[in-house]
Structure 1
Amino acid sequence: MTDRNPEAPPEVLFSAVLKPYRSLSPRGFALLLMFVAATCFAGGLLFWSQGYWPITAFFGLDILAVQFAFRMNYRSGRAMEIVEITPDTLTVRRIAPDGKQQDFAFNPYWARFEVDRHPEWGVTRMALTSHGRQLPIGTFLGPDDRDSFAKAFQDALARARAMPDHG
């Protein structure tokens, strides 16, 4: 006899939402873009006053290039991974910057969590491996975030393995 209710959702032992870190806030981006625009405008005026007016167009292109680069950076920052461990399932949901989702499911008893560490830089790579499949996780995290995630995830995976009924 089991004491679990079949209609009840499984107990979540661990849940983490992994997102890329972006150090520049949208307000900071606006200030940076205004600074770049003011600098380019001043440079453009200088060249215009010297009679080199065609060069001013290149200053405008600089502003557009900086804006495009940061917009693409912010777009890639919308990617995320949702990692969840229940007694029976380890799931990773990847959400791409365009909103497309991929779900990966593992048995927590059989899944191996591989962590590569460098003596100077800390955790450099994390991956889940099971039955010949390998899934890198947290590739966009910084070293400190990878280290704290790896510790918490390993502890939760050990708790899930210690529970009975692994399917």
Structure 2
Amino acid sequence: MPYRWSDNPPDAPLELRLWPHNSLPPQGFAAMVLGFFLFATIPLYWLIGTMLFWGMLPFVVGAVAALYYALHRNGRDRNILEVLTLSPQEMHLTRTDPGGARREWMSNTYWVRVSLHPKGGPVPNYVTMKGDGREVEIGAFLSEDERKALFTELDDRVRRLTRD
């Protein structure tokens, strides 16, 4: 799961860290670009030494550059981190966006309501927290099953904190 609860002592606040799933590690990135380059150049081997080779080469290099840019941009756009800190008195959510911008939300834990919206959100099973007059999303980048599991765990932990 691309989220993890902290293993803090019982009296310390709980911390939940969420991040998008990264299915292409750096080694896979390099292998993909290199593999694409090798397969794209196969037709060029028969053209070495001809004028047609020089006419086709820019298109192959352009395709490899486009693939590299697309994969690199996708990796940069997935550079998101959400950190939720829960204590009996306060909940604090910090979201760090790909550009480095930070957005924060705080509320009294007692008044927070965790909701799962099966339909009507930007994604199915959209998880939100409402408190202090504001409703914020959490884990929108997770898969549908992961959002369901997150809702169950988060709602359970918030209920336990407000019950104590």
- Structure-1-length-normalised TM-score: 0.80
Q: Counterpart in 1 of 2:33?
A: 33
1:124 & 1:44 partners in 2: Cα distance? 49
- Residue aligned with 1:109, SS: helix
Which residue in 1 is equivalent to 2:85?
84
**1:19 alignment counterpart:** 19
Q: How does 1:34-73 map to 2 (within 5 A)?
A: 34-46=34-46, 51-52=51-52, 53-73=54-74
The Cα of 1:141 is off from its aligned counterpart by 0.8
Could you tell me how far apart the structure 2 residues matched to 1:87 and 1:11 are?
10
Moved more, 137-146 or 61-70: 137-146
Number of paired residues?
Answer: 150
Distance verdict in 2 for CA 1:114–1:19, change over 3 Å: same
Structure having the higher helix fraction is: 2
Is the 1:112–1:130 Cα contact (8 Å) retained in structure 2?
A: yes
Contact 1:115-1:150 at 8 Å conserved across structures: yes
Deviations 1:135-155 (A, max 9, x none): 111111112321221111111
Partner of 2:7: none
Stretches of structure 2 lacking an aligned partner (at least 5 in a row): 1-10
Is the Cα–Cα contact under 8 Å of residues 48 and 56 in structure 1 kept in the other structure?
Answer: no
Q: Which runs of 5+ in 1 are unaligned?
A: 1-9
Q: In 1, distance between residues paired with 2:124 and 2:157?
A: 18
2:145 matches 1:144: yes
Change (3 A) 1:144 1:46: farther
Worse-matched range after superposition: 35-44 or 19-28:
35-44
Check whether the contact 2:115–2:151 (CA below 8 A) recurs between aligned residues: no
Higher RCO (CA < 8 A, seq sep 6+): 1
Q: Which shows bigger deviation, 80-89 or 91-100? A: 91-100
Q: What is the deviation of 1:159?
A: 1.1
User: RMSD of aligned C-alpha atoms?
Assistant: 2.1
Cα distance in structure 1, aligned partners of 2:37 and 2:155: 48
Deviations 1:56-86 (A, max 9, x none): 2011111011111111111122211001110
2:43 and 2:149 map into 1 onto residues whose CA distance is 46
Mapped to 1, the partners of 2:75 and 2:160 lie a distance apart of: 36
Q: Percent identity?
A: 22
Matched, 1:111 2:119: no
